[in-house]
Amino acid sequence: MNSSERKPFFRFIKHILRFFIKRPTKSIDETHLEDGAIYICNHVGSTVPLKLELYFLKKFKFWGTFEMTFSYKERWKYLANNYFYLKKGNPKAMAIIKATFAAPFVGMFYKGMQLIPTYRDGRLLSTIKYSIDYLKDNKNIVIFPENSSDGYHQVLKEYYAGFLLLAKKYHHQTSRDLKIYNMYYRKKDNLLIVDKGYSVLDLIKDPRNIRIIANEFKDRANQLAHS
């Protein structure tokens, strides 16, 4: 299980959380999925990261916004001004209260998950470099590519293309194939739907802008939601 990568105390915390958080039903036996792969999924707030951390039977690390891996101040600002206020739609005062209580625990949990920080500037190159080295070890990266600037939606509106950039950079450096697995978590029946793997060898032959291709993955995820 992915827990073999986590520190003992964090594995203990996860064991406790499993008593309270229900295991998702999965549309496929994930042990049949390839390792050294990129898995993309909708976010559904904190629901999917938590369920995957507890129950996904792969060695993996998440990509996540850098604010959650920095200081308490940065983490609090992100939770108060972005996550609870803009994404979850809480009133400003309530967002501040929730951020104040959540920031210490969220920081501890993200540290336990060994999150790979992502950036919106040139520091993204360090994210790509670390992720390529991690994939080379036949481990997996889980990425939530949806644009959640105005909240989380059942019908996904846009996918950012960072996962495709990583896949292409990986192939460029290694000349190896790599699979991208598109997933969708359907909250109403606690179902994680996993699509077939898409080969980077096919993707690099596609001359279109990666933003267009990323949104085709988004459209496919919306199809999975109704499968």
pLDDT of the chain along its 227 residues, tens only?
444 577 777 888 888 999 999 999 999 988 889 999 999 999 998 899 999 999 998 999 999 888 888 788 888 998 999 899 988 889 999 999 999 988 888 877 778 888 999 988 888 999 999 999 999 999 999 999 999 988 899 999 999 999 999 999 999 999 999 999 999 999 999 999 999 999 999 999 999 999 999 999 999 999 999 98
The span from the CA of 22 to the CA of 53, in Å, is 12
Helices (H), the chain: 8-17, 47-55, 72-78, 92-113, 124-136, 162-174, 200-203, 210-225
Query: Is 87 inside a domain boundary?
Result: no
Return the structure tokens found at 83. 């996550």
Q: What is the pLDDT of residue 4?
A: 56
Q: Is residue 176 part of a domain?
A: yes
Phi-psi region for residue 47, left (φ > 0), alpha (ψ -120 to 50) or beta?
alpha
Q: Give a yes or no: residue 107 inside a domain.
A: no
Query: Could you tell me if residue 134 is inside a domain?
Result: yes
- Note whether residue 147 is domain-resident: yes
H helix intervals, 114-161 = 124-136
Q: For residue 219, what are the domain limits?
A: 21-66+115-225
Report if residue 175 sits inside a domain: yes
For residue 104, the model assigns a pLDDT of 84
Task: Flag whether 32 is in a domain.
Answer: yes
Tokens linked to 6: 């986590």
Domains in the chain, number: 1
d(CA 81, CA 76) in angstroms, rounded, equals: 8
> What distance in Å separates the CA atoms of residue 6 and residue 87, rounded to the nearest whole number?
28
Determine, yes or no, domain membership for 11: no
